[in-house]
Structure 1
């Protein structure tokens, strides 16, 4: 068996998938309608809207299977998202990549598979609309066109979710998306006694960047900051732009001291980027760090209010600033540590 490879953009792909706040949500008629149509149109017993997560494929819509997820390392959809076109296996029992796959040798005894990658508005392939049959079969050009049409409808539904829950500029969650996703996380953390930490971030002196270098450069600075949040963090963390130059992170399974380590790494990352790209300004930030105790749980809104208050306390410290000229390389010339 050949496990699927990992896409080159896996880190960002997973961040976008998680930011949609769609994983582990209830079934929705707008997706189930399309998989029902698919089973009838192609006369197959199984049709899925499959989302490829870190270690699993989870089915937002599932017609014909009794489970809602399977491991990613045996998934056909994990292979499908590696390409741009529909991934077709006419007879898996004769394909060396799949002939000994447990999904082939045992239920649901896959023989035929066709999966068309599902893309977000920014082009990230987060899953597939796929067809499965226990009998080998052909799949011609007309079939490919029909499956593509249905997949576009799935993408349109996902685009509506994306527009409502994600920040268009940075590809992070927006405030609504962050609250939706964090509520699910906190409920899980409370039940399973897991700590977490919220980090509320506000860029220092951001207005002079817009005033001096223009709003296009200001947008690039926000995008670079958002990229840094994700690169320094983990796929299990939640990142959001709340608005303007305010950002927030929920670090899963992390205590306060680990959040300070994250802040140190983010500061180092931003300083490295400034030096490599010879930016005429330094991005620094003030942060408010609030720990979530599962024995004394707080709501997302409470954590945001407390993080905001702590951030403003720190923002008043004299070392929190953004310089419009390259700062010195010592720690006192950086943002907060």
Structure 2
């Protein structure tokens, strides 16, 4: 068996994949209708929208299989994303690359595979729209064009999601994007037996910045704080702007090692450096509350946000009391 290779731009490809905010999300009709159409059009028992993650291929839409994911190293889709056009295996049992693959020798007994690589406008290939049969078959030019057209519709839906989940001012996730990414984070915590910490941030005295310097400067302050947050957290942590001057971050970690103290120390130091280097007539300050997600006794995102928000306002009241007494 030939193990699925790794693209040369894998790090950037995975970053683009996670930027879609779609891994481990619920099934959606807009994707399922495309796999239903493909299965009928090509008369195959199995049709998938498969996204190739670091160590697995995960199915956003899956018809004909009970699994929601499989290991990447045995996947056909891992091979398909290595090329720009449709990847076709007409008889896997007679193909040295796949003849002893467990997905060929065992369930689902793949013999025919055709996968259109889902290529974003950025050029990165996320996965495939693929059709699978349990018998060998040929793939003619008309079928090739039909699968290509359906695959482009899947790409369009993926990029629509990406646009809908970004905050246009800061480039961070918005509330919808955060909810989708948080579900992914919690699913990862369940799989890997990890906890997570939710940070809830609110800029202090933001109204005064808007009142004194105008909304344009207020927007600059929001963008600056977003940049400071990105520098303080890891690139795979979930960071979002909920709206106004409220930001959140979600960090997965081991049960015993919460990163809260280290992250907040780094964030405050970055903020000091920013305030010293960019004199704009005001200082950026923030209040923060946290809440802990425990994978053994999981709570929903709404409850975590409520607790972290409450803790944040407790700190904010203390800041205002100190400020008023000065």
TM-score past 0.5 threshold: yes
Deviations 1:256-308 (CA, angstroms, capped at 9, x unpaired)? 84222334456778999x8xxx9899988653323235688655344334434
Using a 3 Å threshold, how does the CA distance of structure 1 residues 11 and 227 change in structure 2: closer, same or farther?
A: farther
Paired residues in the alignment total 311
CA apart distance, 1:193: 8.3
Q: Counterpart of 2:18?
A: 15
How far residue 95 of structure 1 moved from its aligned partner, in angstroms, is 4.3
Partners of 1:219 and 1:90 lie apart in 2 by 54
CA contact (8 A) 2:228 2:270 kept: no
Instruction: Summarize deviations over 1:169-198 as a string: whole Å, max 9, x none.
Output: 566432133235546866997999864211
Indicate yes or no: 2:65 matched with 1:65: yes
Distance 1:196-1:175 versus aligned 2 partners, 3 A rule: same
Note closer, same or farther for the CA distance 1:41–1:214 as it changes in structure 2 (3 Å cut): same
Q: TM-score, normalised by structure 2?
A: 0.71
Q: Kindly indicate whether the alpha-carbon contact (under 8 Å) linking 1:113 and 1:131 is maintained by their aligned counterparts in 2.
A: yes
Alignment partner, residue 303 of structure 1: 304
Residue number in structure 2 paired with 1:37: 37
Secondary structure in structure 1 of the residue aligned to 2:259? helix
Cα shift readout 1:7-38 (whole Å, capped 9, x = no counterpart): 23144134224x23x6252x444333222221
Q: Would you say the 8 A contact 1:172–1:226 is kept in 2?
A: no
1:148 Cα offset (Å): 1.8
Map 1:1-337 to 2 at 5 A: 1-5=2-6, 7-17=10-20, 19-20=21-22, 23-25=24-26, 27-119=27-119, 125-168=125-168, 172-179=172-179, 182=182, 195-202=195-202, 221=224, 224-225=227-228, 228=231, 232-234=234-236, 237-254=237-254, 257-264=258-265, 286-293=287-294, 299-311=300-312
CA RMSD of aligned residues (A): 4.5
**Secondary structure of residue in 1 paired with 2:85:** coil
Separation of aligned partners in 1, 2:313 and 2:101: 55
Deviations along 1:298-330, one digit per CA (max 9) or x if unpaired, are 553443344345446656769xxxxxxxxxxxx
Specify every segment of 5 or more residues in structure 2 that has no aligned partner in the other structure, as ranges: 321-326
SS at 2:11's partner residue? coil
Question: Separation in 1 of the partners of 2:249 and 2:289?
Answer: 10
Distance in 2 separating the partners of 1:297 and 1:66: 26
Whole-angstrom CA distance in 1 between matches of 2:83 and 2:220: 34
8 Å CA contact 1:232–1:262 kept in 2: the answer is no
Q: Is the contact made by 2:4 and 2:73 (CA closer than 8 Å) also made in structure 1?
A: yes
Give how far 1:128 is off.
1.5
Matched position secondary structure for 1:148: helix
Secondary structure of residue in 2 paired with 1:262: helix
CA, structure 1 residues 151+268, in 2 after alignment: closer, same or farther (shift >3 Å)? farther
Deviation, 1:205, is 8.7
Match of 1:334 in 2: none
- CA distance in structure 2 between the aligned counterparts of 1:310 and 1:199, rounded to whole angstroms: 10
